[in-house]
A = this chain, B = another copy of it.
Amino acid sequence: MDMNDLVLVSVDDHLVEPPGMFRDHIPAKYRDRAPKVVQRADGTDAWVFEGQEATNVGLNAVAGRPPDEYGAEPTKFSEIREGCYDIDARIRDMNANGVAASMNFPSYPQFCGQYFARAQDRDLGLAVLRAYNDWHVDEWCGAYPGRMIPLGLPPIWDPQLMADEVRRLARKGCHSVSFSENPTKLNYPSLHDPHWDPFWTACSDENTVVNLHIGSSSSVVITSVDAPIDTMITLQPMSIVNAAADLIWSPTLRKFPDLTFALSEGGIGWVPYFLERIDRVYKTHRAWTHQNFGDRLPSEVFLERIALCFIDDEFGVRSRDELNLDMISWECDYPHSDSTWPQAPETLDVYLAGLSDDEIDRITHRNAARLYSFDLFGHNTREQSTVGALRARATDVDLGFRSSERLRKTGTDTVTVLNLVANLPS
């Protein structure tokens, strides 16, 4: 398949929420108490909600920035690319990168709405979370039908409320929800606990995929504070293996046979090793650990029920015969620092060379559309959705680097994780 004929759907990108997002969605009684953007003393911007301050960390919005200005410090809207927070600019950036559709994870609320869950006033927290979801589905995704796969945030403090929100979102056409790779790190029960069963039931009933994004336990992999930051960047995607192990050995997949999980930004190249490992553990240890998969193997259950995705994972794609090609999707990670934007088609094309057209279509868009119950070609035809067609509409998009004196890194010392730790949300 020619690169220009690819249809690309990214199952993991990120949005930076714009200041006015609550205006049309929050009930009047909560309007004054909804999160708002304020300018900090250092000139950067932050969201504030019930006294909690949430900054936008640099690395999370570096699209279009020269790599020597990447960093973990807080930023301001005027320093980040409009496509991060403005839907019209975002669609143009997608066009310029040949991306037909995209699913967007949140920024300041954290991956499963931890920021809202910390609200002292639970009713306020729920109102804000619902307003967030309404803004996301109706305004951000609604502006360009067929271009954005909606993704909801759950009220993680109450499994029954989570179930209600999943059902409410499904009625709005949203069949995707973000959850935590390890809720115990957020002081909630583990993935092994029946505590979450109402949530799993609703997701199962509504055909809603539970997405576990790397970092959704509010933690990053820190081997030591003086480790070069490259250590954390290297390890973060594969750390999702911990959630993969939790999922396969927990009762959840077997108890809810129609429930699908997705490991977002986790990559795929390590998975064949993992599958061999879980089957070996099962055969060697089940006599005393009492795991029971009936007539199946853990690897078979994993391959059927856990959706995977990758940004740039040549070895993983080459090893696809070890995986389930119906459960692998592609992602772009715009506007994070691991993104291949605006060269995603060129990056992918190199190692899609040996694949059949059918294999390519499954990875690039068919799996994503099926998994997320997303009507990809109902609003735009396939012909209108190809890399070539989209890029032809975006020839005027400025793809040059935009530099900021303030963010330029000077010196040559290795950057350690200390810099990042200081800016992590609590």
Q: Residues on A close to B: CB < 8 A?
A: 66-71, 182, 184, 190-193, 221, 223-224, 226-231, 233-235, 237-238, 241-243, 245-246, 248-251, 267, 269-270, 272-274, 276-278, 280-282, 284-292, 312-316, 319, 322, 337-338, 409, 411-416
| Residue of A250, A251, A313 most packed against chain B (CB within 10 A) | A250
* Chain B residues in 8 Å Cβ range of A281: 230, 233-234
Of the candidates B70, B221, B238, B251, which one forms a contact with A285 in the assembled complex, judged by CB atoms under 8 Å apart?
B70
9 contacts between A and B (CB under 8 A): A67-B285, A193-B226, A229-B285, A230-B289, A235-B245, A269-B276, A270-B274, A290-B411, A319-B319
Of the candidates B245, B251, B287, which one forms a contact with A231 in the assembled complex, judged by CB atoms under 8 Å apart?
B245
Contact A223 B245 (CB under 8 A): yes
Contact A337 B285 (CB under 8 A): yes
Instruction: Give Cα A386–Cα B226 distance, bound, in whole angstroms.
Output: 47
| Residue of A184, A280, A289, A415 most packed against chain B (CB within 10 A) | A289
Instruction: Give Cα A250–Cα B66 distance, bound, in whole angstroms.
Output: 25
* Chain B residues in 8 Å Cβ range of A242: 221, 223, 235
Copies of this chain per assembly? 2
Contact B230 A315 (CB under 8 A): no
In the assembled complex, how far is the CB of residue A182 from the closest CB belonging to chain B, in whole angstroms?
Answer: 6
| Residue of A190, A277, A286, A291 most packed against chain B (CB within 10 A) | A277
In the assembled complex, how far is the CB of residue A420 from the closest CB belonging to chain B, in whole angstroms?
Answer: 11
* Chain B residues in 8 Å Cβ range of A312: 280
Contact A270 B267 (CB under 8 A): no
Contact B280 A224 (CB under 8 A): no
* Chain B residues in 8 Å Cβ range of A233: 281, 285, 289
Known: A70-B288, A230-B249. 13 other contacts (CB 8 A): A191-B223, A191-B224, A229-B289, A230-B245, A230-B278, A230-B282, A235-B242, A269-B276, A290-B409, A290-B411, A290-B415, A291-B414, A319-B319
In the complex formed, the residue of B with least CB distance to A192 is: B226
Contact A290 B246 (CB under 8 A): no
In the complex formed, the residue of B with least CB distance to A407 is: B288
Contact A192 B227 (CB under 8 A): yes
The 3 closest A-B pairs by CB, nearest first: A269-B273, A190-B224, A67-B287
Contact B190 A415 (CB under 8 A): no
Instruction: Give Cα A278–Cα B70 distance, bound, in whole angstroms.
Output: 18
In the complex formed, the residue of B with least CB distance to A246 is: B223
Contact B273 A316 (CB under 8 A): yes
Contact B290 A238 (CB under 8 A): no
Instruction: Give Cα A292–Cα B412 distance, bound, in whole angstroms.
Output: 10
Contact B70 A290 (CB under 8 A): no
Instruction: Give Cα A211–Cα B313 distance, bound, in whole angstroms.
Output: 29
Contact B290 A414 (CB under 8 A): yes
In the complex formed, the residue of B with least CB distance to A408 is: B288
In the complex formed, the residue of B with least CB distance to A217 is: B223
* Chain B residues in 8 Å Cβ range of A249: 227-228, 230-231, 234, 414
Of the candidates B193, B229, B267, B284, which one forms a contact with A277 in the assembled complex, judged by CB atoms under 8 Å apart?
B267
Instruction: Give Cα A312–Cα B192 distance, bound, in whole angstroms.
Output: 28
* Chain B residues in 8 Å Cβ range of A291: 228, 230, 414
Contact A246 B227 (CB under 8 A): yes
* Chain B residues in 8 Å Cβ range of A245: 223, 230-231, 234-235
